[in-house]
Amino acid sequence: MIRIEKLKKSFGKKLALDSLSLSVGKGELFAFLGPNGAGKTTAIRIMTGLSRKDSGTCEIAGADLDREPLKAKRLCGLVTQNVNLDGELSVAENLDIHGRLFAMPGKLRRQRASEYLGYVGMEDRAKDLVKTLSGGLKRRLMIARALLHGPGLLFLDEPTVGLDPGIRRKVWSLIKRINQDGVTIFLTTHYIEEAEFLAGRVAFIHEGRLIQEGTPAGMIAKVGEWAVDTFEGGAMRSDFFASREEAGSFLAGLPAGGAVRRANLEDAFLDLTGKRVL
């Protein structure tokens, strides 16, 4: 569904993407995980035509973004990190304009708008002005809008950033459901638990480079599934073990004590880069 090769992008002297290559298959829920400034949003902006690349190739569902940009865009839906709805228009008007931009016939526009507002639990908000909606509702509306034209591929750039934990869980359920309905999802996030909960496959991006990819479980297993956190000399240290028993034995030998927990993607990222995601 997505194939990018040797993608490069600089902003002045800062290299934002450094020969980034990856591919995402049809039906996958793929997460791009990395700290702020790692290059996640730059990659998504290039793949959706919002930014220009310096070099490299990008193919969306068989359509080359350089040669057939409009065809590629027709196949994608995008939920940007910033809320980019028209605040002065109503919910229904925002959806209607989107449908027209994608050349959808009037009857289909109205039918899908009603269907997707129901899908995101906003069927009673169609006439409300967008500027009166809460942050969570705006995010859900952006997802409904991105799905309106029936894309096979949905880009979600930090879809839950700024949302409170309860709303975040609702958005996660929605994303899972969209993927189960057959839509390929490319997600960027810097929330560890988001990537672990949602993604079938994860890629770490650090300083514009893809440093590892695989299933969340596989990436955690490389480090060790269990961690022991200790606090020594003013700094926290984590040691990793394949089993809980090994971790427990290690902890028993520590005079200062510590805590055993399950390892997560943050540990895998830290192990590779020496830096935390957040």
Partner 1 sequence: MSAFLAIYLREMLILRRRILRQAASWAVSPLLYVLTFGCALGATFQVGGRSYLEFLIPGLVAMASMTQAFAIATEINVARFYFHAFEEFQAAPVGRLSYVLGETLAGISKAIVAIAIVLAIAWLFGVRLHYGPFFWLAVLLDSFAFASLAVAMAMLVRSHADQTLLTSFIITPMGFLGGTFFPLDGLPAWARGVLNLLPLSHASAAIRADAFGEPPRALHFLVLAGFSAVFFILACSTVGKARD
Nearest to 92 by CA among 37, 133, 45, 54: 133
DSSP H or E stretch at residue 231: strand 226-232
Q: Find the radius of gyration of the CA atoms of the chain.
A: 21
Q: Which helix (H) or strand (E) holds 194?
A: helix 192-198
36 vs 243, beta carbon nearer partner 1: 36
Binding part of the chain for partner 1, among 50-58, 172-180, 190-198, 221-229 by CB under 8 A, reads 50-58
Residue 103 to residue 97: CA distance in whole angstroms:
10
**Residue 11 binding partner 1, by CB under 8 A:** yes
- CB-nearer residue toward partner 1: 98 or 125: 98
Single out the residue of 102, 172, 197, 250 in contact with partner 1 (rule: CB under 8 A). Answer: 102
Per CB under 8 A, contacts with partner 1 among 60-99 are: 70-71, 73-74, 76, 78, 80, 82-89, 93, 97-98
Report the residue number, 188 or 238, with the smaller CB distance to partner 1.
188
* 8 sits near partner 1 (criterion: CB under 8 A): no
Number of residues forming the site for partner 1 (CB under 8 A): 29
Task: Show the CA angle centred on residue 13, arms to residues 8 and 15, nearest 5°.
Answer: 30
Of 139, 132, 152, the closest CA to residue 60 belongs to 152
Shorter beta-carbon distance to partner 1: residue 39 or 224:
39
Q: Which residues pair with 129 in a beta bridge?
A: 90
**Under the rule (CB under 8 A), what is the footprint of partner 1?**
11, 45, 48-52, 70-71, 73-74, 76, 78, 80, 82-89, 93, 97-98, 100-103
